[in-house]
Structure formats: structure tokens, C-alpha cells
């Protein structure tokens, strides 16, 4: 890998977009339901829109089960979608297999949570990287070209000197080194977008930062568009340019990471931040107000709550929240900051006022 694909395209250019992306997994029907018209489905992802830009990291944050991995898999075209659109460089794409799928994968690569599961234990690092380079046509013509490309890949993920790693098996490496190999393999395609699904959550805390810093370095040097999926909103603040928050299959808040993490607008985002350990807040009195906030469990996605899906857990819920699906509302503190929450609809809040007890 000697040059970056499209390194000359300006940072900020839109690479990949999801528009109204929806995925419902059908639930297998029980015998007694066979004659009814009921078709249950897990509403894993509903109406999700996001934009990945060159040279930027977009974080997708939410609790386990909120639909983050499903979004990544849809974007990687590993699942057919129920509805919505995926656009690569502005063009609608729906690929299933064959050469169209390979062309798509060359531009959009995925990195998984568990680097051990994603590498084949019976093959060496050399095998994994060679395969990636060959599939995507970057192995060169001669054995020498290939060797050079392999070294370049390992250098790029700071596994140096490369010859120390090339002929090792995955089990001979640490978790962090395996994840670096998985990243190198993705880079073998010379992609424009990386979809990183909880790339550091299985790694020891002490090496997480190193892998995130590597991804940041790749973003800058290769001008990559990165989707960083995490349940840890504190790491989104550190690592991502934009942050999107997902709850029970729906997007609830978005904006630049600093704003979303420092002035969260949606009650769910506040709950996430309050429950995340943040060294900046360790000196303040944590227990005082948090006792009764946001208790409970994420809802069933087979019959998700009506209106706002967060309303059963929301300490600020109003009557309207139980019936009407919130729309994206501008918060107005920073450009691009929005929340899908009726608290930011003045008419709703005003209508609620007389005689009602809106707590704040
Ligand atoms: N292949 C599948 N079939 C049925 N349900 C699924 C499938 N994949 C995910 N789900 C369900 O979709 C929801 C979202 O899952 P997922 O995208 O893995 O969330 P996250 O990555 O945020 O933890 C969960 O309720 C999960 O059980
Ligand atoms: Mg997941």
C-alpha cells in the first residue's frame, strides 16, 4: 500500500449516508399464532439517518441492544434492510453478493469487537493480510511487491518491525495486537470508510487508548471516514468529532461530540452520561440527585413503547411523549445540535404547564 486512495479528496466530503434506515427481524411464529394475522418482528433499527464524512469520526453511542451493531451491519451490506436508503458517494446502493458486493467492501470495511473471532486461528498474519491485498487487487505483481505491501500494512498499524509479526498465528499476539492486525486487514482494501463496532471494548483498559489513537491517526493520515460504535459515551467525547445517541432502535440526539457530551439535551443522553464514570466529575457529589433517575430496563423491541420509546423510563415524560413520536428538534446552543424530544418543542411544554407538574 503505497498511496492513499483519493487522498486528494477534501476532508469533510460525504462518503457514506444512511437515510431512514430500518431493520425489523421477523420473529418465528408459534403454533398457536399460525392462523392469526399477527406478524411479530424485532424493531431493531427504525428510521436511522447518519452521515460519514472523510477525515471525521462519527460515534454511535447506546446501551447494549439499542441496535448499533445492526446499523453497522446494514451499512456494511451484511443484511438486507427493511426500508431506507444507503448512499455511497451520493449513489443509492443495495448489493447482495458477487462483484458488486466486493466493490462495495473495497470502499466500506468493518472492524469487529472481538479480534480473535474475526481472525482465523489456523492461519498466520501473513495469510490474512495477503488475502485482503489479493482480493482487493493491491498485492502487486511480484513476490517483492507483495512483501512490500505487507510490511507497509503492518507499519501503518505500528506492528513493527513487520517481520516479527508476519509469520505469527493470532493466538501468539495480544488482544491489542490482534485488533491492529484486523485493522491492517481492513486497510488492505484501501477503504474510504471504516465501520468499527466496539473496536476496543474487549481489550484491556490499558491498551484501549493506543488502538483509539491508531484509528485517529489513520483518520488523519488516510482521510478515512470512521463510524465508531461504542456503549461508552466518555470515549466518544475523547475520540469522535460527531456523536449520535441511539435508544431502542431510534436515534435520539446528535451533534458535535463536545456539545452532546458536555451539554446533553435528551434525558436519555443525560442518563448515559450520569452513569458513565467521568474523571472530571469524580470530585462532585454524584449520589445526590441520581437515585431515582432513569430506572428500569430498555424496552422490548417486539412491542416498543408508543410515542417516545424512552418515555417509560424518562423522568421528564409529558402526556404527549406517550403518544407522539418525537421529531428532531434543533437545540439552538450549537449549530447541528438536535434532539428527538418534546421537551424542546415550546408548544408542547407550554400546553403542559397549566395545572401539570413538569419536574425539572
Ligand atoms: N439476526 C437477528 N435476529 C433477530 N434479532 C436480532 C438479530 N440481530 C440483532 N437482533 C436484535 O436487535 C436488537 C438490536 O441488536 P444489536 O444491533 O446487536 O444492538 P447493539 O449492537 O446496540 O447491542 C436486539 O434486540 C437484538 O436482540
Ligand atoms: Mg453490538
- For residue 120, the model assigns a pLDDT of 94
Q: Is 64 in the pocket of ligand 1 (CB under 6 A)?
A: yes
Q: Is 79 in the pocket of ligand 1 (CB under 6 A)?
A: no
Ligand 1 closest atom vs CA 249: 14
For 316, the domain range is 14-352
**CB distance 121 to 171 below 8 Å:** yes
Ligand nearest to the Cα of 26, by number = 1
Tell me if 293 is assigned to some domain.
yes
Q: How far is the CA of 354 from the centre of ligand 1 (A)?
A: 41
- For residue 292, the model assigns a pLDDT of 46
- For residue 37, the model assigns a pLDDT of 64
In angstroms, the CA 12 to CA 14 distance is 6
The pLDDT tens digits along the chain (360 residues) read: 444 444 455 668 999 999 999 999 998 766 666 666 667 899 999 999 999 999 999 999 999 999 999 999 999 999 999 999 999 999 998 877 778 888 899 999 999 998 888 899 999 999 999 999 999 999 999 999 999 999 999 999 999 999 999 999 999 999 999 999 999 999 999 999 999 999 999 998 889 999 999 999 999 999 999 999 999 999 999 999 999 999 999 999 999 999 999 999 999 999 999 887 655 554 444 444 444 445 677 888 999 999 999 999 999 999 999 999 999 999 988 999 999 999 999 888 888 776 655 444
Instruction: For 178-202, give the DSSP string.
Output: HHHHHHHHHHTT--SEEEEESTTTT
Nearest CA to ligand 1 atom 26: 65
Ligand nearest to the Cα of 62, by number = 1
Tell me if 358 is assigned to some domain.
no
Q: Is 284 in the pocket of ligand 1 (CB under 6 A)?
A: no
Q: Is 299 in the pocket of ligand 1 (CB under 6 A)?
A: no
Q: Is 244 in the pocket of ligand 1 (CB under 6 A)?
A: no
Helices (H), the chain: 68-75, 98-107, 115-118, 125-135, 143-156, 175-187, 205-222, 233-239, 257-262, 267-275, 287-290, 346-352
SS3 state at 316: coil
Mutate-to-test residue for ligand 1 from 24, 67, 302, highest number of ligand atoms within 8 A of CB: 67
- For residue 278, the model assigns a pLDDT of 57
What is the CATH number for 92?
3.40.50.300
Q: How far is the CA of 73 from the centre of ligand 2 (A)?
A: 10
Q: Work out how many domains the chain is built from and give that number.
A: 1
Mutate-to-test residue for ligand 1 from 70, 75, 80, highest number of ligand atoms within 8 A of CB: 70
Q: How far is the CA of 301 from the centre of ligand 1 (A)?
A: 9
Nearest CA to ligand 1 atom 10: 44
Ligand 1 closest atom vs CA 231: 22
Q: How far is the CA of 302 from the centre of ligand 1 (A)?
A: 11
Tell me if 4 is assigned to some domain.
no
Tell me if 5 is assigned to some domain.
no
Tell me if 304 is assigned to some domain.
yes
Tell me if 1 is assigned to some domain.
no
- For residue 4, the model assigns a pLDDT of 44
**CB distance 270 to 289 below 8 Å:** no
- For residue 36, the model assigns a pLDDT of 65
Nearest CA to ligand 1 atom 21: 69
Tell me if 312 is assigned to some domain.
yes
Residue 138: DSSP 8-state: -
- For residue 234, the model assigns a pLDDT of 92
Q: How far is the CA of 49 from the centre of ligand 1 (A)?
A: 18
Ligand 1 closest atom vs CA 66: 22
Q: How far is the CA of 65 from the centre of ligand 1 (A)?
A: 6
In angstroms, the CA 51 to CA 35 distance is 42
- For residue 349, the model assigns a pLDDT of 83
Q: How far is the CA of 236 from the centre of ligand 1 (A)?
A: 22
Tell me if 285 is assigned to some domain.
yes
Q: Is 75 in the pocket of ligand 1 (CB under 6 A)?
A: no
Tell me whether strands 250-256 and 242-247 are parallel, antiparallel or unpaired.
Answer: antiparallel
Amino acid at each position: 500500500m503505497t498511496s492513499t486512495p483519493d487522498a486528494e479528496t477534501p476532508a469533510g466530503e460525504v462518503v457514506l449516508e444512511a437515510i431512514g434506515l430500518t431493520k425489523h427481524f421477523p420473529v418465528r411464529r408459534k403454533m398457536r399464532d399460525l392462523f392469526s394475522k399477527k406478524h411479530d418482528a424485532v424493531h431493531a433499527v427504525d428510521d436511522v439517518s447518519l452521515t460519514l464524512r472523510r477525515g471525521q469520526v462519527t460515534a454511535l453511542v447506546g446501551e447494549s441492544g439499542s441496535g448499533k451493531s445492526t446499523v453497522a451491519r446494514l451499512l456494511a451490506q451484511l443484511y438486507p434492510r427493511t426500508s431506507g436508503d444507503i448512499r455511497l458517494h451520493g449513489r443509492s446502493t443495495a448489493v447482495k453478493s458477487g462483484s458488486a458486493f466486493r466493490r462495495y467492501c473495497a470502499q466500506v470495511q468493518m472492524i469487529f469487537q472481538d479480534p480473535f473471532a474475526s481472525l482465523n486461528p489456523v492461519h498466520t498474519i501473513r495469510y490474512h493480510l495477503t488475502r485482503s491485498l489479493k482480493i482487493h487487487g493491491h498485492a502487486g505483481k511480484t513476490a517483492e511487491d507483495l512483501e512490500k505491501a505487507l510490511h507497509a500494512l503492518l507499519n501503518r498499524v505500528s506492528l513493527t518491525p513487520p517481520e516479527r509479526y508476519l509469520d505469527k498465528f493470532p493466538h501468539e499476539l495480544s488482544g491489542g495486537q490482534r485488533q491492529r492486525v484486523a485493522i491492517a486487514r481492513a486497510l488492505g482494501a484501501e477503504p474510504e470508510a471504516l465501520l468499527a463496532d466496539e473496536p476496543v471494548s474487549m481489550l484491556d483498559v490499558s491498551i484501549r487508548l493506543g488502538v483509539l489513537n491508531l484509528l485517529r491517526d489513520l483518520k488523519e493520515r488516510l482521510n478515512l471516514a470512521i463510524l465508531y460504535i461504542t456503549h461508552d459515551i466518555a470515549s466518544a467525547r475523547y475520540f469522535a468529532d460527531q456523536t449520535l445517541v441511539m435508544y431502542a432502535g431510534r436515534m435520539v440526539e446528535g451533534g458535535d461530540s463536545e456539545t452532546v457530551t458536555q451539554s446533553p439535551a435528551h434525558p436519555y443522553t443525560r442518563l448515559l452520561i450520569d452513569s458513565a464514570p467521568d474523571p472530571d466529575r469524580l470530585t462532585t457529589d454524584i449520589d445526590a440527585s441520581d437515585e431515582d433517575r432513569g430506572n428500569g430496563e430498555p424496552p422490548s423491541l417486539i412491542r416498543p413503547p408508543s410515542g417516545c420509546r424512552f418515555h417509560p423510563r424518562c423522568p421528564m415524560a409529558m402526556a404527549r411523549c406517550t403518544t407522539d413520536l418525537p421529531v428532531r428538534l434543533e437545540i439552538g446552543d450549537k449549530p447541528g445540535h438536535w434532539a428527538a424530544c418534546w421537551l424542546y418543542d415550546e408548544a408542547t411544554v407550554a400546553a403542559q404547564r397549566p395545572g401539570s407538574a413538569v419536574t425539572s
